[in-house]
């Protein structure tokens, strides 16, 4: 029995309690018999209207962690991720040519890719899918443009048309101005120009008649022609019914009173006779340490999962999300606090393998792993690697540490504070006062008297300051300036060990 100390385990228990204790997965050949299904369905998704950013990642990893919690209880789970690529292309992001304005109003699946390869939607979908694999997330991807073009929702669209007035009543309860009498729960993409610049003339049973601003007019059977796009507040509960969704998280924007989740719940029950899925809202993720205006992919000003993965190991990135309850917002650091995040993760890992972690900590660590290792992974501390990378002392590192060193290298190149960056000097570039010279010569003799531990070197600094009569601050400023050309840097004792005592003695020997 899995303990309920972790938020995803609590949600899993709620799903089992409220959705029934489903025990078996039926074969795919029987999926058409929806009432027969014995698996839990957990869903997430997004419209690929532009770059899929790290804020969107919170939805999919929230779902994935709940999926894991259910599987840990021996349950069969279908984890689906919908690409809402049948949604209209609304506006051109700043990182896409302005000429793409001519495609506004078309499904994003029909807009060409900015790089000329495939569709606009595919361009962003493929990048995100590859990024998810790196952090151990492999859902069943569903492309809604294919689902719609196969007309799989025809009977559910018919129900929305038949109960249009009831849907309007539900939506109007939360609107300042009521919907117009000619409102329909769907739009139609014109057969000729592919845009949704259409006016619905009539809709009854399985037939819709429309006319488009381009001049095209027709009446069609939407069981045979997939050009009907159901509007979001109806589309969401419609797909809950179709996929028999048991759990789905949603952003705080969907979760406010009167928001799309409020209306989706009512439509799901009253129109589609489907009990809404267990829902978990999640707060926003923001970025710390880099200038970023917002997380709107349609504006192009975003941080992608790939970019975050350049700095954070998969397990450390998973840890950030697993260790924070979805309803709590948090920052992902790119400044010097990256060191703190890695240290926290390493401390948790040590506690886990030394059997000192409590039950909650154990679950957070386990949920952070792509594959749990029987033994504690051996790797260098992130802070130590900052010096190793810059001193070139990477020889002898194991593969795990080398991978982390690559994250360190990327961080130093893009985000690290100047106090973390240095270049080991090969000659003396500053003028020394009498006391500074005496102190540095004493340091050279001290280091040259045999190999020492970090603590021995650290304690030696203060003995030198006392014997020479130099202020501690002046001693450290001088040593840093000679060794790395700056007045401060990484912990001096560890820096000397990482550079090598012999190399530092050789440099100090150039004092005249």
Query: DSSP assignment of 187-236, as one string?
Result: EE--TTT-S--EEEEEEETTEEEEEETTS-EEEEETTT---EEE-HHHHH
Q: Would the pLDDT of 273 be above 70?
A: yes
Q: Would the pLDDT of 297 be above 50?
A: no
pLDDT of 3: 63
pLDDT of 488: 85
| Mean pLDDT within 396-422 | 94
How many residues are listed for the chain in this entry? Answer: 512
| Mean pLDDT within 115-134 | 94
- pLDDT band for position 489 (cuts 50, 70, 90): confident
Q: Can you say how many angstroms the Cα of residue 505 is from the centroid of all Cα atoms in its chain?
A: 46
DSSP letters along 300-318, please? Answer: T---BHHHHHTTS-HHHHH
Q: Beta strand 207-212 with 198-204: parallel, antiparallel or unpaired?
A: antiparallel
Q: Can you say how many angstroms the Cα of residue 14 is from the centroid of all Cα atoms in its chain?
A: 25
When the pLDDT of each residue in the chain is averaged and rounded to a whole number, the result is 92
Q: Would the pLDDT of 292 be above 80?
A: no
342-379 burial, b for 16+ CB within 10 Å, e for fewer?
beebbebbeebeeeebeeebbbbbbbbbeeeeeeeeeb
Q: Would the pLDDT of 28 be above 70?
A: no
Dihedral sign for Cα atoms in the order 52, 304, 338, 374: positive
Helix, strand, coil shares of the chain, percent, nearest 5, are: 45, 15, 40
* Cβ–Cβ under 8 Å, residues 467 and 442: yes
- CA–CA distance, 150 with 223 (Å, rounded to integer): 8
**Backbone phi, psi, residue 336, to 5°:** -65, -10
- pLDDT band for position 30 (cuts 50, 70, 90): very low
**Angle, CA 216 vertex, CA 214 and CA 221 arms, to 5°:** 135
Q: Would the pLDDT of 301 be above 80?
A: no
| Mean pLDDT within 449-478 | 96
pLDDT of 115: 87
DSSP 8-state class, residue 117: S
Q: Beta strand 186-188 with 77-83: parallel, antiparallel or unpaired?
A: unpaired
**Would you call 58 exposed, middle or buried from its count of C-beta atoms within 10 A (0-12, 13-18, 19+)?**
buried
Dihedral sign for Cα atoms in the order 233, 239, 245, 247: negative
Candidate CATH numbers 3.40.50.150, 3.40.50.620, 2.40.37.10, 1.10.510.10; the one for domain 7-181+231-282: 3.40.50.620
pTM above 0.95, yes or no: no
Range name among 34-38, 121-125, 151-155, 346-350 with the lowest pLDDT average? 34-38
DSSP letters along 45-84, please? Answer: EE--SS--BHHHHHHHHHHHHHHHHHHTTT--EEEEEEE-
pLDDT of 335: 93
* Cβ–Cβ under 8 Å, residues 333 and 340: yes
Candidate CATH numbers 3.40.640.10, 1.10.10.350, 3.30.200.20, 1.10.10.10; the one for domain 422-508: 1.10.10.350
**Percent of the residues in the chain that have a pLDDT greater than 90, as a whole number:** 84
pLDDT in tens, 444-462: 999 999 999 999 999 999 9
Q: Beta strand 186-188 with 228-230: parallel, antiparallel or unpaired?
A: antiparallel
Q: Where are the domains of the chain?
A: 7-181+231-282, 289-382, 422-508
């Amino acid at each position: 029995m899995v303990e309920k100390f972790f938020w995803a385990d609590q949600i899993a228990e709620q799903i089992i309690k409220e959705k029934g204790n489903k025990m078996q997965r039926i074969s795919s050949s029987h999926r058409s018999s929806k009432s027969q299904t014995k698996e839990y369905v957990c869903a997430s998704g997004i419209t690929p209207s532009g770059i899929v950013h790290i804020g969107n990642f919170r939805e999919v990893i929230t779902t994935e962690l709940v999926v894991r919690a259910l599987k840990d209880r021996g349950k069969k789970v279908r984890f689906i991720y919908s690409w809402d690529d049948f949604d209209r292309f609304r506006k051109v992001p700043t990182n896409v040519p302005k000429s793409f304005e001519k495609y506004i109003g078309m499904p994003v699946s029909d807009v060409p890719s900015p790089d000329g390869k495939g569709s606009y939607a595919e361009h962003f979908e493929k990048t995100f899918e590859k990024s998810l694999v790196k952090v151990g997330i492999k859902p069943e991807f569903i492309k809604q443009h294919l689902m719609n073009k196969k007309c799989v929702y025809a009977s559910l669209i018919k129900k929305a048309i038949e109960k249009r007035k009831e849907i309007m009543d539900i939506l109007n309860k939360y609107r300042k101005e009521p919907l117009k009498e000619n409102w329909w729960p769907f739009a139609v993409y014109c057969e000729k120009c592919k845009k949704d610049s259409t006016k619905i003339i009539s809709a009854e049973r399985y037939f819709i008649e429309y006319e488009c601003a381009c001049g095209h007019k027709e009446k069609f059977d939407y069981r045979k022609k997939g050009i009907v796009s159901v509007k979001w507040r109806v589309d969401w509960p419609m797909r809950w019914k179709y996929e028999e969704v048991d759990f789905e998280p949603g952003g705080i924007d969907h979760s406010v009173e009167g928001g799309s989740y409020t209306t989706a719940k009512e439509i799901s029950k009253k129109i589609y006779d489907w009990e809404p899925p267990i829902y978990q809202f999640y707060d926003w993720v923001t970025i710390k340490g880099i200038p970023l205006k917002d997380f709107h992919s349609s504006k192009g000003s975003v941080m992608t999962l790939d970019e975050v993965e350049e700095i954070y190991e998969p397990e450390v990135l998973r840890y950030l999300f697993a260790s924070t309850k979805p309803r709590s917002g948090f920052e992902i650091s790119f400044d010097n606090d990256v060191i703190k995040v890695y240290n926290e993760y390493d401390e948790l890992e040590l506690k886990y393998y030394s059997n000192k972690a409590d039950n909650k900590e154990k679950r957070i660590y386990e949920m952070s792993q792509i594959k749990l290792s029987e033994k504690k992974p051996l790797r260098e501390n992130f802070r130590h690697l900052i010096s190793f990378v810059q001193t070139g002392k990477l020889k002898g590192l194991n593969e795990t540490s080398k991978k982390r060193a690559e994250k360190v290298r990327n961080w130093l190149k893009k985000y690290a504070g100047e106090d973390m960056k240095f270049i080991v000097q090969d000659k003396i570039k500053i003028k020394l006062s009498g006391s500074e010279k005496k102190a540095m010569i004493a340091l050279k003799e001290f280091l040259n008297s045999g190999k020492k531990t970090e603590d021995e070197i650290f304690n030696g600094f203060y003995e030198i300051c006392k014997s020479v009569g130099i202020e501690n601050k002046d001693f450290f400023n001088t040593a840093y300036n000679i060794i790395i050309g700056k007045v401060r840097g990484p912990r001096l004792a560890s820096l000397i060990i990482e550079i090598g005592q012999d190399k530092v003695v050789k440099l100090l020997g150039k004092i005249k």
